[in-house]
Homo-oligomer: A and B are copies of this chain.
Amino acid sequence: MTPFVSGRHFLQTPGPTNLPDRVLRAMDRNAINHRGPAFGALGLAVVAKLRQVFRTGGTVGIFPASGTGAWESALVNTLVPGDRILLSRTGQFAWLWEQMALRFGLDVATLETDWRHGADPAAIARVLDHDREHRIKAVCAVHSETSTSCMTDIAAVRQAMESHPALLMVDAISSLGCIDYQHDGWGVDVTIAGSQKGLMVPPGLAFTAISGKALAAARAGGSRRSYWDWEPLVAANQTGFFPYTPAMNLLFALDEALTMLTEEGFPRVFARHARYAQATRLAAAVWGLDLQCADPAAYAPGVTAIRTPEGHSADNLRAVILERFNMSLGNGLGRLEDRVFRIGHMGEIGVLSFTGALTGVEMGLRAAGIPHQAGGVQAAMNFLASAG
């Protein structure tokens, strides 16, 4: 038994994110007949709202699944074993996507990074230039690498692909709803997302926006597939009904969350994310701690990974903060295990909750004996008091 702790737990992981009460209330209702008229109307409504988030006029698929499932759908609908793809190893999630591709027998060409930058469009362009026979069938990029808090410039990646027919597949799991994302405008073929990050919905829904070109590739081939097949989702976009039982309470939640984002207005939502991210970086600078992301142009809006000084355990810091201050932070993943802690600032979060979270980090640094300068919270307050 965990001992009783007074006060709300501070969930500052980069997903799952905090669930607004309105979203919880929307989810808190009895099931309905998933083949009845009320369900069809719900299905059409959430697809229409998701199109606005992805900024696409095309197909938007919803799977009862984790975001990982949408990755799998991207691969198995368009590619066959032996197909080559190009993937930039920008962090743990790019690496996991690569591992999945290998399991499906794909030939993965990788571009290494130091996990402190986004993917390099120039390097992608060079590889594609050498691929005269167009053996590369898809370029995979992670928009916001949740493990490193580095962004990849997707518009620039598309430009780098200009004279190459490969599909562009983008993991927007921790960017969608946090920053302006343009599936159609950037020419993305497959965008992958999940419910539990910027969209403020519990985990369990995976989304994919699909271009006409990607859909044509799926219709012409792809691997053996059933659950992840896109074709029934095209039909669902017309009817609102899904091929198998949908995760309807999560769809009730999604419908409400998308309404909330629309009410707040996407420009304000994105500005809010940018503000908290900036406040976090200002605090880290005062603390004297390095950001994992070494490129100021690539700072992520939804999460900031911060390095602990050499010889100081990030996991111990997180444990102290959980024990003393009842706050969960994201851990270092893969090669960053115990080297970084990650502050999530995506999804629903008010100013005072966020400054409260930063006070937890600063007090935690002190409690864990990690060398730092006090005053990070003050810097964040100074900024937030005057910003927006």
| Interface: A65 (CB within 8 A) | yes
| B17–A31 touching, CB < 8 Å | yes
List the B side residues contacting A245 at CB < 8 Å: 15-16, 66-68, 194, 196, 203
List the B side residues contacting A331 at CB < 8 Å: 35
Determine which of B9, B29, B69 lies in contact with A32 in the assembled complex, contact meaning CB atoms within 8 Å: B9
Determine which of B32, B66, B204 lies in contact with A16 in the assembled complex, contact meaning CB atoms within 8 Å: B32
Q: How far is the CA of A123 from the CA of B105 in the complex (A)?
A: 39
| B33–A11 touching, CB < 8 Å | yes
| Interface: A13 (CB within 8 A) | yes
Q: How far is the CA of A24 from the CA of B27 in the complex (A)?
A: 8
CB distance from A220 to the nearest CB of B (A): 16
Determine which of B17, B72, B203 lies in contact with A247 in the assembled complex, contact meaning CB atoms within 8 Å: B203
CB distance from A280 to the nearest CB of B (A): 18
CB distance from A257 to the nearest CB of B (A): 13
CB distance from A98 to the nearest CB of B (A): 11
CB distance from A42 to the nearest CB of B (A): 11
Contact A27 B28, CB 8 Å, known A203-B64, A227-B65: yes
Q: How far is the CA of A81 from the CA of B223 in the complex (A)?
A: 12
List the B side residues contacting A35 at CB < 8 Å: 13, 331
Q: How far is the CA of A204 from the CA of B69 in the complex (A)?
A: 13
Nearest B residue to A97, CB-CB: B226
Contact A246 B33, CB 8 Å, known A81-B224, A103-B224, A227-B72: no
Nearest B residue to A200, CB-CB: B31
| A31–B203 touching, CB < 8 Å | yes
Q: How far is the CA of A19 from the CA of B248 in the complex (A)?
A: 12
Using a Cβ–Cβ cut-off of 8 Å, how many residues does chain A contribute to the interface with B? Answer: 59
Q: Which residues, 27 to 50 on A, are CB-close (under 8 Å) to B?
A: 27-38
Q: How far is the CA of A64 from the CA of B16 in the complex (A)?
A: 14
| Interface: A249 (CB within 8 A) | yes
| A224–B104 touching, CB < 8 Å | yes
| Interface: A4 (CB within 8 A) | no
| A250–B9 touching, CB < 8 Å | no
List the B side residues contacting A248 at CB < 8 Å: 16, 202-203
Contact A16 B28, CB 8 Å, known A194-B245, A226-B103, A248-B203: no
| Interface: A349 (CB within 8 A) | no
Which of A17, A64, A67, A105 is most buried by chain B, counting CB atoms within 10 A of its CB?
A64
List the B side residues contacting A25 at CB < 8 Å: 28
Q: How far is the CA of A32 from the CA of B17 in the complex (A)?
A: 8
| A247–B247 touching, CB < 8 Å | yes
List the B side residues contacting A227 at CB < 8 Å: 65-66, 68-69, 72
Q: How far is the CA of A229 from the CA of B196 in the complex (A)?
A: 23
Q: How far is the CA of A246 from the CA of B16 in the complex (A)?
A: 10
Footprint of B on A, CB under 8 Å?
2, 8-9, 11, 13, 15-19, 24-25, 27-38, 64-69, 72, 81, 99-100, 103-105, 194, 196, 202-204, 223-227, 229, 243-250, 322, 328, 331
> What are 6 residue pairs bridging A and B, where the CB atoms are less than 8 Å apart in the complex?
A15-B245, A16-B31, A19-B29, A19-B31, A31-B202, A35-B331
Q: 3 shortest A-B CB distances, which residue pairs?
A: A204-B247, A16-B31, A33-B328
